[in-house]
Amino acid sequence: MTRSLQPGRLNPLDVVRLAGYGLRARPLRMVLSALGIAIGIAAMVAVVGISASSRAQLDQLLDSLGTNLLTAGPGSTLFGEEATLPDESVAMVGRIRLVETVTAIGQLPDAKVYRTDKIPVPQSGGIGVYAVRTDLLETVGATVATGTWLNNATAQYPSVVLGAKTAERIGIGAIYEDTQIWLGGRWFTVIGILDPVPLVSRLDLGALIGWEAGRRYLGFDGDITTLYIRTNPDAVESVRGLLARTINPARPNEVDVSRPSDALAAQAAAKTTFTGLLLGLGAVALLVGGIGVANTMVISVLERRTEIGLRRSLGATRGHIRVQFLTEALLLSVLGGGAGILLGSGVTAVYATLQGWPTVVPAWVMAGGITSTLMIGGVAGLYPALRAARVAPAEVLATT
């Protein structure tokens, strides 16, 4: 017979089995307290997932649109007056090495667009009329939804291509041979409608006519409103640095150069502030869930004093009892956390699918979710476990 008194070791599998038994004994309570954790985790996973999905969609969009589009427009002079771009600027920019294409549009501020000539003058709908060059489409990455784009012939005559919102606003869905609109005091034939142009959203609410047609029928003076420049993708920054001086060597400060893809990215960044707030709300839900687990475990310890006493009589040390209840709390939280991750991913998938985005739930969120539930379970289970270990076996076994 051995004369040393070494307690037996509890196999980790047995510890998990014990914890599982404790939870199975009261299934409804287990589900309800796990639900608290699940909701918190689901909220955080969904918030991060949805914002990641939206970013993935933006990345895809930028990928397809390209980030190598630059715009240059006349800014204002030092004295605050509106500046203009010199006529030769298109040709000058075109001579910069690494510029792939360059095109210009000119706004006709006095021309208004109406569905017919019967519509009262004030109801112009805020639609802008632009004289454009035929290479606008490929430079800004726009596509035609229905009809055709302007060509060298139609650009000479009263033909117009509508932006996506323009078509919607004046009520043109399909194009027939005789579809016409009242533009600048005369009839123009509608030959095409564009898809939305994410990088140049002003075109969406525009009516586009040929450069020549503008001069010929509407008294367009050829002033350039904006230049669109597509550069070699690796040379965007260096071209950007050269643009102002190339376009207006005398007063480079009067030229506004920008990169439309930056604006889209900035929009996305603005959304992350909101994400932070929602994450905070998720964290509060998680905290409340953790308190629920602690509460459940405290009650469980009170109810199971006899079981604890019995286990002590079977030779369980205080450590065995502590580990059993701590593991039970951890298991409870992890079950909740696992359900929360599934729920949050599901919500993300549904939302992203409805928005037509790719579904992205970053791995770090899942890892973070499990880690935080483990931490919460540990903290929530610590006090109940300590209490369970302090139960005096003689008292609880004698009273029943």
Name the site residues for another protein (rule: CB under 8 A). 3, 5-11, 13-14, 18, 21, 24-25, 306-307, 309-320, 392-394, 397-398, 400
Burial of 318 (0-12, 13-18, 19+ CB in 10 A): middle
Look at phi and psi of residue 149 and say left if phi exceeds 0, alpha if psi is from -120 to 50, else beta.
beta
From the CB of residue 278, how many other CB atoms can be counted at a distance below 10 Å? 16
CB 313 → another protein: shortest distance, Å? 5
CA distance 151 to 197: 19
Give whichever of 153 and 314 is closer to another protein, judged by the CB atom. Answer: 314
Give whichever of 109 and 315 is closer to another protein, judged by the CB atom. Answer: 315
CB 272 → another protein: shortest distance, Å? 49
Give whichever of 15 and 374 is closer to another protein, judged by the CB atom. Answer: 15
| Total length of the chain | 400
Give whichever of 11 and 64 is closer to another protein, judged by the CB atom. Answer: 11
CA distance 171 to 149: 19
CB 369 → another protein: shortest distance, Å? 31
CB 22 → another protein: shortest distance, Å? 10
Are 384 and 324 in contact, with CB atoms under 8 Å apart?
no
CB 25 → another protein: shortest distance, Å? 6
Give whichever of 314 and 354 is closer to another protein, judged by the CB atom. Answer: 314
Alpha helices per DSSP H over 208-259 = 211-218, 236-247
Are 317 and 7 in contact, with CB atoms under 8 Å apart?
yes
Give whichever of 224 and 308 is closer to another protein, judged by the CB atom. Answer: 308
Give whichever of 269 and 392 is closer to another protein, judged by the CB atom. Answer: 392
CB 20 → another protein: shortest distance, Å? 12
Are 363 and 61 in contact, with CB atoms under 8 Å apart?
no
Question: Which helix H or strand E contains 52, and what residues bound it?
Answer: helix 27-65
CB 31 → another protein: shortest distance, Å? 17
Please name the residues in contact with 375: beta carbons below 8 A apart, sequence gap of 6 or more.
none
